[in-house]
Structure 1
Amino acid sequence: MEEANTYCDLMIKNGSRLDSVCYNTLIHLRCQEGKLDDAFELVSMMEEGGLESDEYTFAILVNGLCKMGHIEVAEKQLCYMEISGMRSNVVAYNCLVAALCKSQEVDAAIRLLHCMKLKDNFTYTSLVHGLCKVGRYHMASKFLRICLHEGNDVLTSAKRAVIAGLRSSGFKNDVRKVRVALKMAKLLRP
């Protein structure tokens, strides 16, 4: 990362014109290093140079903000992306869903999920794990079944967590429903 930063900084100082891929790479590196101010400075430099932020730029920023614990700012960044007319970015939304679940704000994650146009395996895996962590196994089983019904899947660890949690909570009927849904999903997979 240090070499990439040095090389790109040198290019900028020498007046080379970077494209959006280079800027997004630099922004990503700054976010990984926890240097969010530098990342946003690079976004400004990119836009001042005539390039526009794209959905990848926003996904990188949302992810970086979430990893640093700035969930509210990440939500604002996601709203700004939508207002700017960019198409829905499942990666950016997934970063926020995962961060909300990690901070045990699963109700906010559920609300966000309902606003999402696209959902994938990662969306549901994060939500199911988050619900299990706070002991809401019945709700986790509901979202697991919805996920399977939509043709998606979740990690095996999430499936096990749901079944173990339902079993330990005495929801035997729900364990049966989850197992049936898992078997049906397996049968229907191409």
Structure 2
Amino acid sequence: MLISNPSKLPPISSLTHLLRTLSSIAVPSHNHISHLLLEQKSATQVLDTFQWASKLPSFTHSPSTHRALIHKLCTFRRFDIAHQVLDEMPHSIGLPPDDHIFVTLIHGLGRAHLVKQVIKVLDLVRRYNQKPSLKIFNSILDVLVKEDIDIAREFYRKKMMASGVKGDDYTFGILMKGLCLTNRIGDGFKLLQAIKSRGVAPNTVVYNTLLHALCRNGKVGRARSLMNEMEDPNDVTFNILISGYCGEENLVQALVMLDKCFGLGYVPDVVTTTKVLEILCNDGRVMEAVKVIERVESNGGLVDVVAYNTD
């Protein structure tokens, strides 16, 4: 490992809390060392601290301390040393890098916008004779969606599906979010149909993401039709639809959805409640606004100062 001075102790200021704790125990815990590593302010300091801990009597590093080291090296963009650390793990602690460490590396590369390197983590996992898990695939997909939805979709088709990894609710939620954030609503519906064609029931998060995109683009009626397909609409579903109708100043449908929301045991959030109160009061229906406040509060909901001032 590239250590500037292997015998050097970490800065005394960083060790103060740990030394107080160590005064009462013989060997520091992995948690203590991990926190100490995360406090360091440079790549040199974190490497020196890791090596210092390696020399403590009766202490052996673990995957958790290596994960903290990898995280800090990625923070300082020392990906070259991070890869060296990974290579040393099977020899130093007798264990290869685990999923948590690979995900930490993926997130670090993602923050640096190194898209190609993120995808190559799959090859890195296989180099240690491991099969990339769904967690690793999803972590890579999450990074790619934030960079380029088309690259993310290609990764899903050519890397995940080609490897026999069909994905789970989280996978489809990531893809749907990426499509909707880029206003690819048509592709969002195609994804929804593709999920169904595999015999999988799209979860509420997938539906809600598409509903939100539809309402944001002024297609509330279509969102309402889509909601009828859902097996388990939740409070978020109703907040989206009620707010959508309020945005169109369609008070009748907003109140219909509000009543249905209460009927299923859900309570609108503060933002949604305030929008309903505003549209009621603007229409001169103050007493109905008061009843909405009473109904929200009686069902355990919250109404803030803005809502009361609206009334």
> Normalising TM by the smaller chain, what interval?
0.7 to 0.9
Q: Could you say which structure has the higher helix fraction?
A: 1
By relative contact order (CA 8 Å, sep 6+), the higher-ranking structure is 1
TM-superposed deviation, 1:177: 4.6
Q: Runs of 5+ in structure 2 lacking a partner? A: 1-106, 302-311
Q: Secondary structure at the match of 1:115?
A: coil
RMSD of aligned C-alpha atoms? 2.1
TM-superposed deviation, 1:169: 1.5
Q: How many percent of aligned residue pairs carry the same amino acid?
A: 24
TM-superposed deviation, 1:183: 4.0
**Equivalent position to 1:37, from 150, 153, 163:** 150
2:97 corresponds to 1:10? no
Amino acid at match of 2:239: T
**Equivalent position to 1:19, from 108, 128, 133:** 133
Q: Report the equivalent of 1:101.
A: 215
**Which digits, 9 at most, give the CA deviation of each residue in 1:34-78, with x for residues without a partner?**
x11211121121111122222221111111100000011101111
> Partners in 1 of 2:290 and 2:124 — Cα distance?
65
Q: TM-score, normalised by structure 2?
A: 0.55
Amino acid at match of 2:199: G
**Which digits, 9 at most, give the CA deviation of each residue in 1:88-121, with x for residues without a partner?**
3000000001101111110011111111111112
Q: Report the equivalent of 1:133.
A: 247
> Partners in 2 of 1:14 and 1:60 — Cα distance?
23
Q: Report the equivalent of 2:163.
A: 49
**Equivalent position to 2:187, from 73, 77, 80:** 73
Contact 1:141 1:178 in 2 (8 A): no
Q: Report the equivalent of 2:206.
A: 92
Q: Report the equivalent of 1:153.
A: 267
> Partners in 1 of 2:253 and 2:287 — Cα distance?
14
**Which digits, 9 at most, give the CA deviation of each residue in 1:127-183, with x for residues without a partner?**
111111111122112212211221112220110110110121234464355234324
**Equivalent position to 1:185, from 276, 291, 299:** 299
Amino acid at match of 1:156: V
2:277 corresponds to 1:163? yes
Contact 2:242 2:254 in 1 (8 A): yes
Contact 1:125 1:158 in 2 (8 A): yes
Aligned positions, number = 186
